[in-house]
């Protein structure tokens, strides 16, 4: 059946995709590698016909650069905190949701809403909820504390300067963690709920006959049978977490930090874009490669762990 | 107390063998006791179950409130006057509905233009992307040619690389082509999604090959078969791709910010963030929230109507693009 004509036809159907991929995917891979390993590569220098020696100078500069360490620290912290928190929360919510009938669909729709939002737009809403208007320099009184502080004060707590000028790093991080977890829940609930619905009911009937307790059923039956889905949301969570950027822009704006303290919350992706807008392509490429290696290692690690723990 | 005594006598009686007529009596008591116990266990189980269900509902509704609260607070704040917004004790429903905020927001960020730009970019890139995806998926699913599997494997491998790695070179490519501040710069680099090709190929593979062979016998051309048979059969997947692509245009921020950030090409997210950047805590939050509400509304409406497709598409597509 295969003749010269179909040979030619297959490539014809693929041609549009392959041409696009060649320009915007394959060439960038080669070029980024070249730029990352060309010592001191800049776009201006390259346009001026400068030639570069090959080496790992860009990587050394990136790692030695103090701003990059901050970015790396922020990215890792956000990942390590938000991925487990959102996964456990999503697991509890989906198990609870799976056990009820009334309101099930309505709640499922509500939980999915954060997904169909613009992360910049809702970031601005979170900024407003944590924002304080007219805070005095000593931090004791303000015109408007913002709804989150109002709630804290209702329970007898003290208002906290979350995101305004002079705010503490951990307060900023707390806001970002809350926002990212809120934003990450819908996808995880969707996947885990889908997994739960495909678990055979016979396991639960058997456990009931044996008189197993609820928590025992959760940890001994539900979690092991759900482990492929849990592994999936953890891996995608880490991949997304290491690329965190727009949610921070949403809350803090392009300065990536509270007023008077820009860039304290910058991430690796933010670092890449900063280097790019400074025309420092070599450094941006080196940072992008470092990001790729980090994501690759973390994904492999996750796969290795899940291979040992995941029950298929 | 009575029960305790009963138990005691039972124990004593069962230990010491009692006279005949007595033992009949005891058996009777035991039976009723057992029935009672079963009832008691059943009742406590029922109470436990109800308590657990109530607990589950309280937990779920509490989470639902947390999920919904930012939306509620956004709408609430967007309808307040700036004076009311600054009240020390916030009002949970605006005293006086200030709809003018919406008009002001629309004007301040020129949201009308931003909408048009975003819809334009979204539509064109969706249509072109669908054409390319359908053609490639068909080639991978139905046509035979040398090197097909190798090409497919290479494409899948590129999915592992984070997009930021491409961005740097694509940025300079766009400048080399002289495409800065054009719509092409926002559309063309993202036309091919390996993931969508993969998704559609899987869908095409499920369509029985007999259909294809029958069409061949009838003398139908490949292209006509693709258009008349495969595309209609794979429509749900195509709809999912369309929605995800439109959502992508609505949410994209980083790339347009780099390549096309002038007023004539700005997309909705960029316009929104940059129109209200006063980060000193003094910005006019009611107007800002009105703008956010306007920007969020279309996605919500689409979601309400196409809930099934969106959730299905998202559950297969992984992380937010």
| Radius of gyration, alpha carbons of chain B | 33
Higher pLDDT: B210 or A44? It is B210
Q: Is the pLDDT of residue B279 over 80?
A: no
Contact B135 A114 (CB under 8 A): no
Give pLDDT, residue A5: 63
Least CB–CB distance from A13: residue in B136, B251, B302: B136
Higher pLDDT: B252 or B284? It is B252
Give pLDDT, residue A292: 94
What string of pLDDT tens digits covers the 312 residues of chain A?
445 566 888 899 999 999 999 999 999 999 999 999 988 888 777 777 777 888 888 999 999 988 899 999 999 999 999 999 999 999 999 999 998 888 898 999 999 999 988 889 999 999 999 988 877 777 677 788 889 999 998 998 888 889 888 889 999 999 999 999 999 999 999 999 989 988 888 888 888 888 888 888 888 888 988 988 899 899 999 999 999 999 999 999 888 988 888 889 999 999 999 998 888 899 999 999 999 999 999 989 988 888 877 765
Report the distance separating Cα B157 and Cα B153, nearest Å.
6
Q: Does A185 touch chain B (CB under 8 A)?
A: yes
Report the distance separating Cα B1 and Cα A296, nearest Å.
69
Confirm if A38 and B203 have CB atoms less than 8 A apart: no
Domains of chain A, residue spans: 59-309
Structure token digits, residue B122: 């979204």
Q: Is the pLDDT of residue B4 over 80?
A: no
| pLDDT winner (highest mean) among A287-291, B158-162, B177-181 | A287-291
Mean pLDDT of B274-289: 70
Higher pLDDT: B111 or B39? It is B111
pLDDT tens track for B233-267: 999 889 888 988 888 888 888 899 888 878 888 89
**DSSP H or E segment with residue B249:** helix B235-251
Length of chain B: 321
For B223, list phi and psi in degrees, rounded to 5. -65, -40
Contact A269 B164 (CB under 8 A): yes
Cβ-based neighbour number of residue A305 at 10 Å: 12
CB contacts < 8 A (A, B): 269
Higher pLDDT: B86 or A237? It is A237
Contact B88 A296 (CB under 8 A): no
Residue B268, class by beta-carbon neighbours within 10 Å (0-12 exposed, 13-18 middle, 19+ buried)? buried
**A139 three-class SS:** coil
Give pLDDT, residue A265: 93
> Fold for domain A59-309?
MetI-like fold (1.10.3720)
In chain B, residues with a C-beta closer than 8 Å to the C-beta of A21 are: 155, 158, 192, 194
Higher pLDDT: B274 or A163? It is A163
Domains of chain B, residue spans: 2-78, 104-317
Q: Is the pLDDT of residue B157 over 60?
A: yes
Higher pLDDT: A259 or B33? It is A259
Mean pLDDT of B18-36: 57
Least CB–CB distance from B88: residue in A92, A144, A249: A144
Report the distance separating Cα A219 and Cα B36, nearest Å.
33
Question: Which residue in A291, A300, A272 sits closest to B162, CA to CA?
Answer: A291
Percent of chain B with pLDDT over 70: 86
For A144, list phi and psi in degrees, rounded to 5. -130, 125
Contact A10 B167 (CB under 8 A): no
Q: Is the pLDDT of residue B108 over 60?
A: yes
Report the distance separating Cα B185 and Cα B180, nearest Å.
7
Q: In angstroms, what separates the C-alpha of B10 from chain A's closest C-alpha?
A: 27
In chain B, residues with a C-beta closer than 8 Å to the C-beta of A164 are: 281
pLDDT band at B10 (very low <50, low <70, confident <90, very high): very low
Report the distance separating Cα B87 and Cα B82, nearest Å.
9
pLDDT band at B169 (very low <50, low <70, confident <90, very high): very high
pLDDT tens track for B292-319: 999 999 888 988 888 888 887 777 765 4
Mean pLDDT, chain B, whole residue set: 83
Least CB–CB distance from B144: residue in A10, A14, A97: A10
ipTM of the complex, rounded to two decimals? 0.89
Search chain B and give the residue with CA nearest A182: B67
Least CB–CB distance from B164: residue in A23, A240, A243: A243
pLDDT band at B16 (very low <50, low <70, confident <90, very high): very low
- DSSP letter (8 states) at residue B17: P
Report the distance separating Cα A249 and Cα B59, nearest Å.
31
Mean pLDDT of B76-80: 91
Among A115-119, B30-34, B82-86, B258-262, name the one with the lowest average pLDDT.
B30-34
Residues contacting A125, CB < 8 A, separation 6+: B70, B71, B73, B74, B289, B292
Give pLDDT, residue B315: 76
Give pLDDT, residue B282: 55
Contact A147 B73 (CB under 8 A): yes
Q: Does the domain at residues B104-317 carry the CATH identifier 1.10.3720.10?
A: yes
Contact A17 B70 (CB under 8 A): no
Q: In angstroms, what separates the C-alpha of A242 from chain B's closest C-alpha?
A: 10
Structure token digits, residue A217: 């059923």
């Amino acid at each position: 059946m295969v003749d010269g004509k179909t040979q030619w036809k297959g490539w014809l159907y693929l041609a549009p995709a392959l041409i696009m991929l060649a320009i915007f995917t394959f060439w960038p891979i080669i070029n980024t590698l070249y730029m990352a390993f060309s010592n001191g590569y800049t776009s201006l220098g390259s346009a001026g016909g400068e030639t570069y020696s090959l080496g790992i100078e860009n990587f050394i500069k990136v790692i030695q650069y103090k701003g990059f360490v901050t970015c790396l620290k922020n990215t890792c912290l956000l990942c390590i905190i938000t991925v487990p928190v959102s996964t456990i929360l999503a697991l509890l919510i989906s198990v609870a949701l799976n056990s009820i009938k009334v309101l099930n669909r309505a709640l499922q729709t509500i939980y999915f809403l954060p997904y169909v939002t613009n992360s910049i737009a809702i970031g601005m809403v979170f900024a407003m909820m944590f924002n304080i208007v007219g805070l005095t320099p000593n931090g004791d009184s303000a015109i408007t504390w913002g709804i989150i502080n109002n709630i804290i004060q209702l329970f007898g707590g003290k208002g906290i300067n979350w995101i305004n000028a002079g705010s503490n790093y951990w307060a900023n991080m707390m806001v970002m963690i809350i926002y990212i977890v809120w934003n990450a829940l819908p996808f995880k609930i969707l996947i885990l709920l889908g997994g739960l619905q495909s678990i055979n009911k016979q396991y639960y009937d058997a456990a009931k006959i044996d008189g197993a307790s609820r928590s025992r059923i959760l940890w001994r039956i539900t979690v092991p049978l759900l482990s492929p889905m849990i592994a999936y949301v953890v891996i995608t969570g880490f991949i997304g977490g290491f690329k965190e950027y727009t949610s921070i822009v949403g809350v803090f704006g392009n300065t990536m930090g509270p007023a008077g303290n820009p860039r304290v919350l910058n991430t690796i992706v933010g670092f890449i874009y900063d280097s790019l807008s400074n025309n420092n392509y070599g450094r941006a490429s080196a940072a992008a490669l470092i990001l790729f290696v980090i994501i690759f290692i973390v994904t492999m690690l996750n796969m290795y762990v899940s291979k040992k723990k995941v029950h298929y | 107390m009575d029960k305790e005594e009963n138990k005691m006598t039972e124990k004593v009686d069962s230990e010491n063998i009692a006279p005949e007529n007595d033992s009949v009596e005891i058996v009777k008591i035991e039976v009723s006791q057992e029935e009672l116990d079963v009832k008691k266990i059943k009742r406590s189980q029922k109470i436990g179950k109800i308590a657990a269900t109530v607990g589950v509902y309280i937990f779920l509704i509490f989470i639902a409130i947390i999920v919904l609260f930012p939306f509620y607070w956004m709408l609430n704040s967007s309808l307040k006057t700036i004076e009311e917004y600054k009240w020390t004790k916030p009002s949970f429903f605006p005293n006086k509905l200030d709809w003018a905020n919406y008009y002001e927001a629309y004007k301040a960020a020129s949201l009308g233009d931003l909408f048009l730009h975003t819809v334009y970019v979204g539509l064109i890139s969706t249509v072109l992307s669908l054409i390319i995806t359908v053609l490639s998926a068909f080639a991978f699913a139905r046509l035979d040619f040398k090197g097909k599997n190798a090409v497919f494997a290479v494409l899948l491998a590129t999915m592992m690389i984070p997009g930021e790695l491409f961005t740097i070179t694509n940025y300079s490519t766009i400048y080399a082509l002289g495409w800065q501040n054009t719509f092409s710069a926002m559309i063309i680099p993202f036309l091919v999604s390996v993931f969508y090709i993969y998704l559609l190929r899987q869908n095409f593979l499920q369509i029985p090959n007999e259909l294809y062979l029958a069409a061949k016998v009838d003398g139908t051309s490949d292209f006509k078969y693709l258009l008349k048979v495969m595309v209609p059969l794979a429509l749900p997947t195509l709809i999912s791709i369309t929605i995800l692509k439109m959502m992508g245009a609505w949410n994209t921020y980083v790339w347009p910010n780099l390549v096309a950030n002038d007023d004539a090409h700005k997309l909705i997210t960029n316009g929104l963030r940059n129109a209200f950047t006063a980060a000193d805590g003094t910005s006019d939050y009611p107007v800002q929230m009105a703008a956010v509400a306007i920007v969020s509304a279309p996605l919500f409406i689409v979601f309400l109507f196409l809930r099934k497709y969106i959730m299905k598409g998202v559950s297969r597509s992984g992380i937010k693009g």
